Amino acid sequence: NGDAANPACSGIEGVLEAYHRSLRRVQLYGPTNFAPVVNHVARSAAAVMDGSQYFVLLIITDGVISDMAQTKEAIVN
């Protein structure tokens, strides 16, 4: 949602709003390291054990991922 202190979105509408907002603000450039982001979201999701929330990680890239091996490992984990 663009707020590093509170990155949660509320519902599909919130996800879509954050996506559209990011299209206007984000400039893609390298290096592209996804493993830290995947691991961060996984830790946040693991902290919610009661099933009351779900987590969506939308990854947009220009096709070049600098840490591909680490990103694959993070996704598998």
Question: Taking 90 as the threshold, does the pLDDT of residue 34 lie above it?
Answer: yes
Are 11 and 22 within 8 A, CB to CB? no
In a domain, 8, yes or no: no
- pLDDT score at 68: 93
Are 63 and 30 within 8 A, CB to CB? no
Residue 71 burial (10 A CB sphere; 0-12, 13-18, 19+): buried
- pLDDT score at 56: 81
In a domain, 40, yes or no: yes
In a domain, 25, yes or no: no
DSSP-derived letter for residue 66 is T
Q: Which domain holds residue 59?
A: 30-76
In a domain, 45, yes or no: yes
In a domain, 4, yes or no: no
pTM for the model stands at 0.70
- pLDDT tens sequence across 3-30: 878 878 888 898 889 889 888 888 877 7
Residue 8 contacts by C-beta under 8 Å, 6 or more apart in sequence?
1, 14
In a domain, 19, yes or no: no
**Residue type present at position 1:** N
